[in-house]
């Protein structure tokens, strides 16, 4: 929204220029627990979480929406009850 309001051309922007600072990332190797990732996002008030490799190269982004697409709420509840 901020970029749209500023009418900046998106094609010329780098991700690091538009993200809140400091940029919080998660290593790909840390993607082991979907509930821990959800908690991580919520506790920090993050909407997007960059995923990086061992060399800090961007691999992708995780968002609440992308996590919701992974599993339906029923599947997530089933996973939580088995894991506890």
Span 30-68, pLDDT tens digits? 888 888 888 888 898 888 888 999 998 989 888 888 887
- Name the pairing type of β-strands 58-63 and 48-52: antiparallel
Higher pLDDT, 81 or 23: 23
Query: pTM for the full model?
Result: 0.61
Confidence band of 83 (pLDDT split at 50, 70, 90): very low
- For domain 2-83, give the fold: CBS-domain (3.10.580)
- The pLDDT assigned to 18 comes to 72
Distance in angstroms (rounded) separating the CA atoms of residues 2 and 6: 6
């Amino acid at each position: 929204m901020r970029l749209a309001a500023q009418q900046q051309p998106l094609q010329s922007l780098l991700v690091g220029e538009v993200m809140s600072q400091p940029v919080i990332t998660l290593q790909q190797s840390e993607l082991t627990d979907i509930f821990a990732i959800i908690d991580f996002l919520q506790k920090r008030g993050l909407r997007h979480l960059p995923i990086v490799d061992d060399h800090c190269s961007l691999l992708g982004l995780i968002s609440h929406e992308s996590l919701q697409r992974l599993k339906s709420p029923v599947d997530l509840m089933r996973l939580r009850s088995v894991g506890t």
